[in-house]
């Protein structure tokens, strides 16, 4: 492979290295004639500027790091894909930081910015992966960062997500409109802010409908299919069973449906099941899953665009930004049984 440097190209083209550099970074400053001459040499030699050299000098790596708990979750994968597209179209590359939810790994990846290997962070989590001195402004203590799809309790950083409270409320209202009164909720882990927000929407909607809150109808799970099944199991053991189950994500809803069907229940005739996220498979399980659609592509795009703005030195308004959700009414919800 070629080992040509900018000086070699400059020599071949009878210009200075500075001119070759300008051909790439500010061609408008180079005369047409020189431009063509240099370009020709570049093409013939297949010369590509070395990014490390450039980065060292410019103090910009051209990378952003995406810190994400688990790339195999369809929600995360969908967002990441959008991010990658947006980044690429603006000349950035994405470093993948799959953390398995481990704080140690979150910090490892966050540290890449300190090492000059990335210019900014796209975070999908509920904690800031830096040691923070609460007496000082947050912005001074962290690099450019956008938080997506989860909530961190501060208004000093940019956060992009759907309004979980409203979305959850809308979901419950859909079930109420079908005549359901005993509506169970399968929540995520209780230390996850988004789960708590969805829980808030659930209780608010019930209260508004004048339905007493029954904590027996609340089952905690881990946002995955297996624990969704276990949650359904618990609900079936109840003396007074729910007629509808709202799950705080689609994976758990799929698990709930699976277990109900295994036990001979008909969804939705016996029990309605509703999810949250609208992953691709939600439409294709049987029955197809009624759920809350999250605009993953828009979320990803909003995140990357906001981050790149910050990297370009533009001022970006901190605080939460909500993107619109929609209800996808499919076949897993129906009228409450008599």
Partner DNA sequence: TTGTAGGCGTTATCAA
Partner DNA sequence: TTGATAACGCCTACAA
**Which residues lie near DNA (CB under 7 A)?**
3, 5-7, 14-19, 21-22, 24-25, 29-31, 33-35, 48-50, 52-54, 56-59
Contact letters for its own copies, residues 236-265 (x by CB under 8 A):
------------------xx-xx--x----
Residue pair 167/198 in contact (Cβ under 8 Å)? The answer is: yes
User: Which of 101, 143, 193, 337 is close enough to bind its own copies by CB under 8 A?
Assistant: 143
- Residue 296 in tokens: 């993953």
Cα dist from 201 to 2, 47, 168, 279, whole Å: 60, 57, 5, 21
Interaction partner, residue 108 (its own copies, DNA, none; CB < 5-8 Å by kind): its own copies
What does the DSSP assignment read for 82-105? HHHHHHHHTT-EEEEEE-TT-HHH
| CB of residue 73 to DNA, shortest distance in Å | 36
| CB of residue 13 to DNA, shortest distance in Å | 8
User: Which of 16, 25, 36, 88 is close enough to bind its own copies by CB under 8 A?
Assistant: 88
Q: Measured from the CB atom, is 50 or 286 closer to DNA?
A: 50
Under rule CB under 8 A, residue 77 binds its own copies: yes
| CB of residue 144 to DNA, shortest distance in Å | 18
| CB of residue 212 to its own copies, shortest distance in Å | 33
Q: Measured from the CB atom, is 51 or 107 closer to DNA?
A: 51
Report the DSSP pairing between strands 244-247 and 218-220: unpaired
Interaction partner, residue 15 (DNA, its own copies, none; CB < 5-8 Å by kind): DNA
Q: State the chain's maximal CA–CA distance in angstroms.
A: 88
Q: How far apart are CA 93 and CA 182, in angstroms?
A: 49
Residue pair 249/276 in contact (Cβ under 8 Å)? The answer is: yes
Under rule CB under 8 A, residue 156 binds its own copies: no
Q: How far apart are CA 232 and CA 259, in angstroms?
A: 7
Cα dist from 40 to 171, 231, 279, whole Å: 61, 67, 49
User: Which of 12, 30, 37, 63 is close enough to bind its own copies by CB under 8 A?
Assistant: 63
Q: How far apart are CA 323 and CA 305, in angstroms?
A: 14
Interaction partner, residue 281 (DNA, its own copies, none; CB < 5-8 Å by kind): its own copies
Helix axes 6-13, 17-25, angle to 10 degrees: 110
Interaction partner, residue 16 (its own copies, DNA, none; CB < 5-8 Å by kind): DNA
Under rule CB under 8 A, residue 214 binds its own copies: no
């Amino acid at each position: 492979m070629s080992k040509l440097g900018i000086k070699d190209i400059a020599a071949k083209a009878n210009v200075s290295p500075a001119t070759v550099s300008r051909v790439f970074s500010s061609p408008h400053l180079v005369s047409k004639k020189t431009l063509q001459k240099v370009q020709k040499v570049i093409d013939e030699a297949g010369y590509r500027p070395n990014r490390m050299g450039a980065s060292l000098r410019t103090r910009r790596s051209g990378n952003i790091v995406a810190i994400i708990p688990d790339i195999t979750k369809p929600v995360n994968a969908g967002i990441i894909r959008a991010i990658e597209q947006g980044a690429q179209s603006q000349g950035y590359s994405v470093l993948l930081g799959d953390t398995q939810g481990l704080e140690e790994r979150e910090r490892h990846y966050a540290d890449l910015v300190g090492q000059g290997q990335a210019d900014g962070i796209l975070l999908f989590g509920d904690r800031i992966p830096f040691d923070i001195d609460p007496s000082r402004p947050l912005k001074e203590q962290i690099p450019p960062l956008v938080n997506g799809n989860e909530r961190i309790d501060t208004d000093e950083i940019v956060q992009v997500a759907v309004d979980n409270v409203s979305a959850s409320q809308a979901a419950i209202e859909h079930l109420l409109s079908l005549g359901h009164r005993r509506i169970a909720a399968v929540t995520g882990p209780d230390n996850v802010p988004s789960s708590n927000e969805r829980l808030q929407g659930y209780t608010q909607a019930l209260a508004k409908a004048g339905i007493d809150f029954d904590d027996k109808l609340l089952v905690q799970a881990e946002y995955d299919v297996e624990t969704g099944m276990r949650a359904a199991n618990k609900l079936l053991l109840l003396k007074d069973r729910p007629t509808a189950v709202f799950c705080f994500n689609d994976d758990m809803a799929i698990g709930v449906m699976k277990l109900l069907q295994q036990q001979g229940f008909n969804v939705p005739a016996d029990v309605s099941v509703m999810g949250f996220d609208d992953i691709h498979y939600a439409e294709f399980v049987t029955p197809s899953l009624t759920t809350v659609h999250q605009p993953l592509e828009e979320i990803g795009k909003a995140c990357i665009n906001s981050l790149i703005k910050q990297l370009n030195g533009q001022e970006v308004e901190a605080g939460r930004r909500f993107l619109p959700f929609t209800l996808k009414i499919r076949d897993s919800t129906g009228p409450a049984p008599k």
